[in-house]
Structure 1
Amino acid sequence: MAVDIPGVIGVVVFYIVILVIGIIAGRKKSSDSNTQFLANRGLGLIVASFTLSATMVGGAYINGTAEAVGRDGFIWIVASVSYNIGILIAGVFIAPKVRRIGYTTIFDPLQNRYGKKMGALLFFNELFANLFWEAAILGALGTSLALILDLNLDLSVIISACVAVAYTFFGGLYSVAYTDVIQLILITVGLVLSIPFIYTNKAVDLSRVKDTWTGSLPPSMIGLYIDIIFLCIGGGMPWQAYYQRVLACKSPSVARNASLLGTLMSVLLLIPPSFVGIAGAAADWNMTAYDGNVTLSAEEWASVVPMSLHFLCPRVVSVIGLGAVSAAVMSSADSIVLATGSVFARNIYQTLFRPKATEREIVWVLRVSILVVGAAGTVIALTVRSVYALYVLCGDLMFVAHFPQVICALWLKCGNTYGSLAGFIMGLSMRILGGEPALKIHAVIKFPFYDEETETQLFPFRTVAMLCSFAGIICVSFITDYAFRKNIINRKFDVFNCYPVLKENTELNKDFLKLNSERNVQDDQNEKSKFLDDYKG
């Protein structure tokens, strides 16, 4: 099959438009670190809602929803729905709190509570998760472009990554936010436009799925189903990509309302890919130009959206739909590289190594980080075709080992480095000992209902591991906090320096002023008294 020249031209035009809009949006403001990280905390309700929704509605969201509905039935859309529930909860309880305090990243409270080094350690979990996430969605986009336009897969991945990285490099969050608005509109138009053509194609006969489209939940799968619900609710809440937008909102109320509106928009965008998935299950692929297996394999189900666009739609509609898929991928890819670069520049480089770094220096560290993360994700996408399993494992670790850390950092007053480290080790160990068949990690702990044949844990063991992480943070923090404050353990054994010996008041004042500067809270007498009391133990 020859390269589809008109289709390629259409995609190139789309990429150019997105690139130009991103660069123009990024140049409208000064290029200090606050602009790059948080768009000067100037996002209003509409732009914030769109960029939050676009961040959630990525390539995995669209393709994964269609795959789940088409292959297993509507009841298995649980992952996407639960993810939205998690963001809804974060929008009500976490977003206003972190925006009110004025953090720069979600790692700020982690480093304030657990120490700079422990916060840096927690960063690596999200770093690997982001890299594999980026690689997975770029790989999926490359497959779509290769399928519909017959382009070289590697070239498709590289070009898509370069466009997303380019406008993020120049404009930071302003570029990402304003291109997200365009991308979300294109996602909606492209998918909705394709539905009538897909369903009027003669190959699609809904009678084939009239008794199966809802799906079923065998009793043996209930534990796994519960695990997926809690995994997606809790695992979606601690990501920096979400808080980058929350912290850039004009006020705490805008942060909350944008989260609610953005979640509503992303829930509505579950509908088009669900329809595509049902049509994919109802299609007789023998009646199309498709020359693969009539019964779709797991890999083919993962590409049911581009397959439906290509084989069930007219050429023009399929190219527009491909633009929607491309937009979904880039709206996630730009979020990933910016979020990772922001945390590295702020919480690793500036906080750990260069506290006195200039604004220009921080901006360039951010830009270099964006290039490195974008390049690393692209290399992984090109060399490791099966990165999805790695992404799933990292997503699990965000739920098991990271979610409890964020919650405790924000609400557990006695939380400290000892508890954080204990919880991290406990959660990580429990997850790994539970095994992961996709990575050929055999289960050491076999929970109830373990399936020996498939080596699958049917018990909600990830949720158990997450609760163990919570228990480790809370219990160890409480015990060590009590022991050091009551001098049961001499403070000279405080290896993490969580409870320093009382300094002179002048030093205390300096520390308090530094704390105020970091947290952007007013230096009033009540706050100062609380700080001094905590410091004295």
Structure 2
Amino acid sequence: MAVNIPGLVAIAVFYVAILTFGILIGRRKNKTGTADELFLANRSFGLVVACLTTAASMVGGGYVNGTAEVIGRDGMAWTIGPIGYNIGMALGGIFIAPKVRAARYTTILDPFQVKYGPKMGSVLFVSEFFGDVFWEAAIFGALGTTLSIVLDINITASVVISACVAVVYTFFGGLYSVAYTDIVQLFLIAVGLVLAVPFAVTSPVVDMSKVTTSWLGQVHSQHIGLYIDTIFLCVCGGVPWQAWYQRVLACKSPKLAQISTVVGACIALVLAIPPGILGVAGAATDWNATSYEGSLPLTFGEWTNILPMVLQFVCPQSISIIGIGAVSAAVMSSADSCVLASGTVFASNIYKNIFRPNASERELVWVLRVAIVVVGALGAIIALTVGTVYGLFILCGDLMFVVQFPQLICVLWVSFANSYGSLSGFIIAMFLRFAGGEPFLFIPPLIKYPYYDEKHGQMFPFKTMAMCISFIVIIGVSYLTDRLFKSGKIPMKYDILQCFTEEMEQKAVETKENGDQLQCNPEPSAEDELLEKKTTSFI
């Protein structure tokens, strides 16, 4: 198969156009070049921009390719990712977005550092960082396989070039470049994939009657635990993401942040329909009647490429090229979100709050830019070394679900939550999650939970269990240490995390100040009050 020259030219033009637009819009909008401008676009997002960029941050390469993959292979019943993540984002928009926007935070890690202190708050950067990197890897992996199939070019080259484009305009323009390119990319995704649908389902090599009922899928009894785990993982794991909180915190008001997040989730959910239909069309395709030369029936790994395969072997070439442009747009819209999110958290919460509290604006800007490059490079490397796109798409929510979700709920709504509870919950969650193993990262299980299957792995909803245990541990340890330290049963000299020492010292200072004030202005006695009344009456 020769290189698809027209397609290659079209993609090259698209990449150059997006790169140029991203840099130009960043230079136009960024007036001062300050860190706050790059982080949050001066909190200037209105309804339209906020809704569209929020939706685009969700609709990435892993989203569209993964949706087509799983609905074509396993059916609608197992297409939990796009539904679950968007429900989670909507719930976060309703309950959390207005709360954090009203507090004028810079990142979603700010409430942790405010409540627990900079060092303990920074520990939770670990799960945020790996979540972003895994998501980004899923995105680049999706694009790499798509370009290699449709254009017949080297997958490594396609991933590296795509990563460079996303990193470069984010490097220069920050959130302004990301948000406004998101709007263009979202439009291209909608047009490209919607346009491909009628050509795919009406192709002579596609017999939709073959999938009349099978496209719905089914959940067997032995998979109930895994199914429950995946549902909760997607819904709750979609809540703590910095990528969309960055949009929330950039909105003009808390109410606008709430509305735009819910609307953005609805838009993203609707945009899962076209790739879902293309995935079903792939399941209904007679691949022997196409120019496809791979193994048949399709292996588990080959289903990862079902969307680009439908575009290449089922649709006309012109539609195929437009479709690949849509997938490329999806990649850029989420890749830039990931690298900016992790870069912002590192620059603001790690570098500034811990290492360089007095860092200048210029210094923070360059720390952000270096972090953007590093995160982009890591995502590209993982994309070239790990398997299924949908696996990465789900995996990226694991740490956010098991570790970050209970932490976020506790820091925002549990008044007595403290560093001891947070650290204990973090350690327990990480241990229980990784003790269950992870086939996508080649980690064998240390603990074989009930219903473990040698072929399919953990059948017990151990991730949900780990999240619940972490939640209980955070609350339990926080409450216990709060009571023991404040009652004096544990001396303050053992408060190694400084949770209560500063609080007690502050109370002591306030008590002393109040006492001094009372001595200078003592409360009037009953006799004094009576004398004052007589004097007033006399006067």
Same topology, TM > 0.5: yes
In the alignment, what sits opposite 1:86?
A: 88
Q: Which runs of 5+ in 1 are unaligned?
A: 509-537
For 2:26, the aligned partner's letter is G
Q: How many Å separate the matches in 1 of 2:153 and 2:351?
A: 40
For 2:490, the aligned partner's letter is I
Whether contact under 8 Å (2:66, 2:389) holds in the other structure is no
In the alignment, what sits opposite 1:310?
A: 312
Deviation string 1:449-487 (CA, Å, 9 cap, x unpaired) is 222x31522221111100000011000001101111121
Whether contact under 8 Å (2:62, 2:390) holds in the other structure is no
In the alignment, what sits opposite 2:75?
A: 73
In the alignment, what sits opposite 1:457?
A: 458
Q: CA deviation at 1:187?
A: 0.3
Q: How many Å separate the matches in 2 of 1:74 and 1:332?
A: 24
Which runs of structure 2 are paired with 1:84-483 in the superposition (5 Å)?
Answer: 84-383=86-385, 392-451=394-453, 453-483=454-484
In the alignment, what sits opposite 1:11?
A: 11
In the alignment, what sits opposite 1:26?
A: 26
Whether contact under 8 Å (2:66, 2:393) holds in the other structure is no
Q: Provide closer, same or farther for how the CA distance between residues 299 and 504 of structure 1 changes in structure 2, counting only shifts above 3 A.
A: closer
Whether contact under 8 Å (1:284, 1:294) holds in the other structure is no
Q: How many Å separate the matches in 2 of 1:72 and 1:306?
A: 18
For 1:23, the aligned partner's letter is I
In the alignment, what sits opposite 1:516?
A: none
Q: How many Å separate the matches in 2 of 1:203 and 1:390?
A: 31
Q: CA deviation at 1:379?
A: 3.1
Q: CA deviation at 1:252?
A: 0.5
Whether contact under 8 Å (1:230, 1:463) holds in the other structure is yes
Deviates more, 1:496-505 or 1:230-239: 496-505
Q: CA deviation at 1:364?
A: 1.2
Q: How many Å separate the matches in 1 of 2:446 and 2:8?
A: 50
Q: CA deviation at 1:388?
A: 7.2
Whether contact under 8 Å (2:189, 2:326) holds in the other structure is yes
Larger radius of gyration: 2
Q: How many Å separate the matches in 1 of 2:290 and 2:373?
A: 41
Whether contact under 8 Å (2:113, 2:121) holds in the other structure is yes
Deviation string 1:41-91 (CA, Å, 9 cap, x unpaired) is 001111111111011111111111111111111111122211111111100
Deviates more, 1:471-480 or 1:206-215: 206-215
Q: Provide closer, same or farther for how the CA distance between residues 341 and 156 of structure 1 changes in structure 2, counting only shifts above 3 A.
A: same
Aligned length, in residue pairs: 508
Q: How many Å separate the matches in 2 of 1:127 and 1:178?
A: 24
**Partner SS state of residue 24, structure 1:** helix
Q: How many Å separate the matches in 2 of 1:285 and 1:391?
A: 27
**Partner SS state of residue 124, structure 2:** helix
Whether contact under 8 Å (2:30, 2:38) holds in the other structure is no
Whether contact under 8 Å (1:126, 1:394) holds in the other structure is no
Whether contact under 8 Å (1:66, 1:275) holds in the other structure is yes
For 2:66, the aligned partner's letter is G
Whether contact under 8 Å (1:54, 1:184) holds in the other structure is yes
Q: How many Å separate the matches in 1 of 2:386 and 2:458?
A: 26
Whether contact under 8 Å (1:136, 1:388) holds in the other structure is yes
Whether contact under 8 Å (2:301, 2:388) holds in the other structure is no
**Partner SS state of residue 181, structure 1:** helix
Q: Which runs of 5+ in 2 are unaligned?
A: 511-539
Q: Provide closer, same or farther for how the CA distance between residues 315 and 272 of structure 1 changes in structure 2, counting only shifts above 3 A.
A: same
Q: CA deviation at 1:443?
A: 3.3
Q: How many Å separate the matches in 2 of 1:468 and 1:504?
A: 33
In the alignment, what sits opposite 1:512?
A: none
Deviation string 1:169-205 (CA, Å, 9 cap, x unpaired) is 1110000000000000000000000011111211000
Q: CA deviation at 1:117?
A: 1.3
Whether contact under 8 Å (1:125, 1:394) holds in the other structure is no
Q: How many Å separate the matches in 2 of 1:416 and 1:199?
A: 56
Q: How many Å separate the matches in 1 of 2:95 and 2:36?
A: 24
For 1:239, the aligned partner's letter is W
In the alignment, what sits opposite 1:44?
A: 46
Percent of residue pairs identical: 57
Q: How many Å separate the matches in 2 of 1:388 and 1:461?
A: 20
Q: CA deviation at 1:158?
A: 1.4
Q: How many Å separate the matches in 2 of 1:449 and 1:246?
A: 41
For 2:493, the aligned partner's letter is K
Whether contact under 8 Å (1:435, 1:443) holds in the other structure is yes
Q: Provide closer, same or farther for how the CA distance between residues 316 and 391 of structure 1 changes in structure 2, counting only shifts above 3 A.
A: closer
For 2:481, the aligned partner's letter is T
Deviates more, 1:481-490 or 1:164-173: 481-490
Q: How many Å separate the matches in 1 of 2:507 and 2:232?
A: 47
**Partner SS state of residue 303, structure 1:** helix
In the alignment, what sits opposite 2:62?
A: 60
Q: How many Å separate the matches in 1 of 2:284 and 2:393?
A: 30
Q: CA deviation at 1:266?
A: 0.8
Q: Provide closer, same or farther for how the CA distance between residues 160 and 279 of structure 1 changes in structure 2, counting only shifts above 3 A.
A: same
Q: CA deviation at 1:435?
A: 2.7
Deviates more, 1:144-153 or 1:383-392: 383-392
**Partner SS state of residue 298, structure 1:** coil
Q: CA deviation at 1:316?
A: 0.9
Whether contact under 8 Å (2:169, 2:177) holds in the other structure is yes
Whether contact under 8 Å (1:136, 1:391) holds in the other structure is yes
Q: How many Å separate the matches in 1 of 2:72 and 2:395?
A: 24
TM-score, length-normalised on structure 2? Answer: 0.91
Q: Provide closer, same or farther for how the CA distance between residues 503 and 16 of structure 1 changes in structure 2, counting only shifts above 3 A.
A: same
In the alignment, what sits opposite 2:500?
A: 499
Whether contact under 8 Å (1:132, 1:387) holds in the other structure is no
